[in-house]
Amino acid sequence: MDDRRHKRVLIYSHDSFGLGHLRRCRTIAHSLVEADQNLSVLILSGSPIIGSFDFRTRVDFVRIPGVIKLRNGEYTSLNLHMHIEETLRLRGSIITHTAEAFEPDLVIVDKEPLGLRGEAEDTLELMRRRKIPVVLGLRDVMDEPAQLAPEWSRKNVVPALLRYYDDIWIYGLPEICDPLAGITLPQGVRKMMNYTGYLRRSAPASQAMEPATGFGDEPFLLATPGGGGDGAGLIDWVIAAYEQDPSLPYPALLVFGPFMPPELQHEFQQRVARLKRVKAITFDARIETLMERALGVIAMGGYNTFCEILSFDKRALIVPRTTPRLEQYIRAERAAELGLVRMLVDDDRRDPALMARALHRLPEQNRPSETVIPGLLDGLEALNRLSAKWLHGGAAPAPRIALQG
């Protein structure tokens, strides 16, 4: 029996590397189904570890073949012995056929308006013909305008926004950043932009699933570089601080991340084994529980980690990456100006004494909640309202502008 009173949302995330896109989409999907018992969400993702995460009832996923971005900026197939163009055609076909079969009532596209190298455009065109509302979801910071503007121009993004999209949801606040600052946008695009606030996170309710830290009930600091693919500098710097300064008052738990190269993990584990006050694990899909228990956090400042720091009201030291994008640096700098976190810039020298001083100060700094910013963590509630507008008898999708080609 096909009861279309039960609505369907399709979320697309290209997920070429890391955990950020997947974890953000999973959080949104869980919030949507919790708010609406007559809703199902299907996530299309290229993440190679999506199966490591638990999903709530009425949330499922389709894994499309993975790709990875090389240092020269080119993409290659992650596991298949296929040319990248073949892989992209395969991915695009799966995306389109999934959308056709799933018949969504709403489509949410994460970050890439046309998908990875345009792989989602056929699907967007299909949704346009079927008059299915399509939303673009953007994190609070994309990149510095000098980089983002030419990238969007090269990808012909603005015409795509006018042709295919009905709404733009920005998962942040303008007081912290306008992710499209510096880009010349027509009023039609600006009118679509809705700031939601950051996406509040919560820890699993079951204490039986609580991960072990190795410190018992003793307070500890948590150091996490997210996915870990570019987090070796942060981990090296924290270990070096504990190697040099045995007077650091609290132990540290390091979470390398699933994408940190095995040889680096092995090297770090050897150093950790010589330290009584430091423990390390590779990955835990329930990082929220560790974050909730930690006295303070040392992190690179990706979007999801920043949301967790705010949600669990944790004192945090952010060491942002500055290549290939300045996204983390922009977010950390602004958050530090507002008093939400402290920032330490990696100058490649990584003076252990400098990190040790920052770790000594970390437990004494202000919590994020001591800076009052209205609506800071209202993102999920806002998304639930915005999605309901398109799903349940709200305003009809505005006519999209038909462009040539």
Q: What are the residue ranges spanned by the domains of the chain?
A: 7-200+377-391, 207-370
Q: What is the pLDDT of residue 213?
A: 73
Q: What is the pLDDT of residue 268?
A: 97
Q: Give the type of residue at 267.
A: E
Q: What is the pLDDT of residue 16?
A: 63
Torsion on CA atoms 256, 260, 265, 268, rounded to nearest 10: -60
Residue 328 predicted with pLDDT over 70: yes
Contact 224, 255 (CB under 8 A): yes
Measured CA to CA in angstroms, residue 291 lies from 223, 311, 313 at distances of: 10, 10, 10
Q: For 193-225, how does the pLDDT look when each residue is reduced to its tens digit (9 = 90+)?
A: 999 999 999 987 755 455 667 788 899 999 999
Residue 350 predicted with pLDDT over 80: yes
Task: Return all residues near 36 (Cβ < 8 A) that are at least 6 apart.
Answer: 7, 384, 388, 391
Measured CA to CA in angstroms, residue 392 lies from 4, 7, 378 at distances of: 12, 9, 21
Measured CA to CA in angstroms, residue 86 lies from 17, 74, 91 at distances of: 19, 14, 9
Contact 332, 383 (CB under 8 A): no
Task: Return all residues near 85 (Cβ < 8 A) that are at least 6 apart.
Answer: none
Residue 127 predicted with pLDDT over 50: yes
* 193-195: strand order across its sheet: 59-63, 39-45, 7-13, 106-110, 134-139, 167-171, 193-195
Q: What is the pLDDT of residue 227?
A: 83
Mean pLDDT of the chain: 90
Residue 258 predicted with pLDDT over 70: yes
Instruction: Give the position of tokens 């020269």.
Output: 72
Q: What is the sign, positive or negative, of the torsion defined by CA atoms of 280, 321, 336, 16? A: negative
Q: What is the pLDDT of residue 395?
A: 46
C-alpha 61: how far from chain center:
17
CATH architecture of 7-200+377-391: 3-Layer(aba) Sandwich (3.40)
Q: For 157-180, how does the pLDDT look when each residue is reduced to its tens digit (9 = 90+)?
A: 999 999 999 999 999 999 889 999
Residue 273 predicted with pLDDT over 50: yes
Instruction: Give the position of tokens 């949600």.
Output: 311
Q: What is the pLDDT of residue 210?
A: 59
174-183, 291-300, 379-388: range with lowest mean pLDDT: 174-183
How many CB atoms lie under 10 A from the CB of residue 6?
Answer: 13
* Residue range 276-303: mean pLDDT, rounded: 92
Q: What kind and span of H or E run contains 68?
A: strand 67-69
Q: What is the pLDDT of residue 285?
A: 81
Tell me, yes or no, if the two domains 7-200+377-391 and 207-370 fold the same way: yes
Confidence of residue 72 (pLDDT cuts 50, 70, 90): low
Residue 78 predicted with pLDDT over 90: no
Q: What is the pLDDT of residue 345?
A: 94
Percent of the chain at pLDDT > 70 equals 92
Confidence of residue 394 (pLDDT cuts 50, 70, 90): low
For the domain covering 207-370, report its CATH number. Answer: 3.40.50.2000
* 342-343: strand order across its sheet: 278-281, 252-255, 221-224, 296-299, 315-318, 342-343
